[in-house]
């Protein structure tokens, strides 16, 4: 999945607005839950969101 996908951008923006500095942690929790439920497509989506949030935290792309 691409970080420029509108759904990825929207999810990262919502997570950042809702959880602030804890957004990456919240996404990690979501990924762990999805792994337990064997949801590989959703895991891929949220890993991409996590990667984008990490970039944002380092001063990368802003929404």
CB atoms within 10 A of CB 44: 13
Residuewise pLDDT in 10s, the chain (63 residues): 898 999 999 999 999 999 999 999 999 999 999 999 999 999 999 999 999 999 998 886 554
Residue 39 token pair: 């949801």
Say what the pTM is.
0.90
Taking the C-alpha atoms of residue 15 and residue 32, their distance in angstroms, rounded to an integer, is: 16
pLDDT of residue 3: 85
pLDDT of residue 61: 58
Sign (positive or negative) of CA dihedral 4, 60, 10, 28: positive
pLDDT of residue 62: 54
Give the domain ranges of the chain: 6-57
């Amino acid at each position: 999945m691409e970080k420029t996908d509108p759904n990825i951008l929207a999810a990262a923006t919502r997570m950042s607005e809702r959880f602030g500095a804890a957004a990456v942690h919240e996404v990690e929790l979501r990924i762990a839950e999805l792994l337990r439920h064997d949801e590989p497509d959703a895991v891929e989506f949220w890993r991409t969101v996590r990667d984008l949030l990490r970039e944002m935290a380092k001063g990368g792309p802003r929404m």
